[in-house]
Amino acid sequence: MTDFASRIGRTELAATFAMAARARALRAEGKDVISLSLGEPDFQTPEHVVQAAYAAAKRGETKYPPLGGMEALRAAVTTKFNREHGLAITPQQVLITNGGKQGIFNSVMSLINAGDEVIIPAPAWAGYEQTVKFAGGKPVFVPCPQEQGFVLQPEALATAINGRTKLLILNYPSNPSGATLSRAEVAALADVLRQYPHVWVLSDDIYEHLIFGGTAHETLLGVAPDLNDRVVTLSGVSKTYAMTGWRIGWCIGPTEMINAATVVQATTTSGVSSVGQAAAFAALTGPQDFLAEQVAAYEARRDAVVAALNQTPGLACHKPDGAFYVFPSIKGCLGKTTPGGKPIRTDDDFAMALLEEGLVGVVQGSAFAMSPHIRISTATALSQLTEACQRISSFCNALV
């Protein structure tokens, strides 16, 4: 048997990919599966963005790109961030990455030594835990239950911090809950962090523009600029501009931290696709009017799905303020049995039975460090969501 490095055994593939793969397999068998497991916008990349990439390729911008990112794109990220949050960062504080996920990897690998603790509010996207373990760190989950709106409480944060804590990962709007933070809530967390100057913060703002109710995103650095020497802010074009496959993200942070993250990138992937960067530049600097239409569509989908789920026996669904997920509790379904004879003891059981018997693909809450819940992506057509909710209702009503 091959003797792989120990870091391979510390990580595993995300459940979202596993559920999506199972849904594809059932479709290949001829089953009419509705898959709501992946968090990927169903909108098309804006046409002017696609044309910008084409034009860049035609101009011959197909050579090795600069390691830290093209100057024009770094400047565009700087302008955007400063405009939205009233700050004065420089392009030297920006690193363009191969998607937001590499920004997380670069940051964690730059900061975490073996045994360092990383605080992760739960529920949480599985990639955080996987990356921390890969780096040899110890994930410390802080539960943020549904009755608290899935929001990290200052008291819980303070209790979790100790001398071994190196990093706090914040993700608002959140995957999987869709929770957002008000300015007052961000300020309260900043007050705690000021008491612990040894703790860094990675603020994953990838869903920053997908907020409902007409409110704006409040990022930690914008609310507490005095923490600038230990805050890394991450974002990208994947969710806002429906560009998941383009793989363009960025990190913003102290220059020394960005330099360290650039070293990590140099040893893994080097620079980011040149035509992809041209596309991202066009996305940031071009028309933005379509964003309001997309946010309105996501909000309408949220309202329909939350209403339907809260009318379904055994489910209780909080109404999120951002992103394109809902994260209902399935506690009322535990201890029951499906028509096919499968017992529902956990949310893992529920998700698999719903897929195989109800033909709806979701992701179990255990994959996000909080059970018993399921995550449903609302990034698909309202007609599909309506049909999926009807199937979920029928599935739950049939449990005995």
DSSP string, 248-302: -EEEE--HHHHHHHHHHHHHHT-S--HHHHHHHHHHHHS--THHHHHHHHHHHHH
Please state which of the four CATH numbers 3.40.640.10, 2.30.42.10, 2.60.120.10, 3.40.50.720 is assigned to the domain occupying 48-285. Answer: 3.40.640.10
Query: In this structure, what token pair is assigned to residue 300?
Result: 């309408």
Binned at pLDDT 50, 70 and 90, residue 395 comes out as very high
Please state which of the four CATH numbers 3.90.1150.10, 1.10.3720.10, 3.40.50.720, 2.60.40.10 is assigned to the domain occupying 6-44+290-397. Answer: 3.90.1150.10
Please report, for the chain, the start and end positions of each structural domain, with discontinuous segments joined by +. 6-44+290-397, 48-285
Is a pLDDT exceeding 80 seen at residue 20? Answer: no
- pLDDT tens per residue across span 168-208: 999 999 999 999 999 999 999 999 999 999 999 999 999 99
Count CB atoms within 10 A of the CB of residue 372: 21
The whole-number average pLDDT for the span 204-231 is: 96
Query: In this structure, what token pair is assigned to residue 344?
Result: 């529902």
Binned at pLDDT 50, 70 and 90, residue 1 comes out as very low
Residue 156 near residue 206 (C-beta atoms within 8 A) = no
- pLDDT tens per residue across span 234-282: 999 999 999 999 999 999 999 999 999 999 999 999 999 999 999 999 9
Stated pTM of the model:
0.95
Is a pLDDT exceeding 90 seen at residue 388? Answer: yes
- The three-state secondary structure class of 204 is strand
The backbone torsions φ and ψ at residue 193, rounded to the nearest 5 degrees and listed phi first, read -65, -30
Name residue 231's amino acid.
Answer: V
- The three-state secondary structure class of 176 is coil
- The three-state secondary structure class of 167 is strand
Question: What local confidence, expressed as pLDDT, does residue 240 receive?
Answer: 97
- pLDDT tens per residue across span 121-131: 999 999 999 99
Closest CA to 89 of 190, 222, 209, 285: 222
| Dist CA 305 CA 388 (whole Å) | 9
Is a pLDDT exceeding 80 seen at residue 375? Answer: yes
| Dist CA 323 CA 378 (whole Å) | 9
- pLDDT tens per residue across span 335-367: 999 999 999 999 999 999 999 999 999 999 999
> Residue 242: left if φ>0, alpha if ψ -120 to 50, beta else—which one?
left
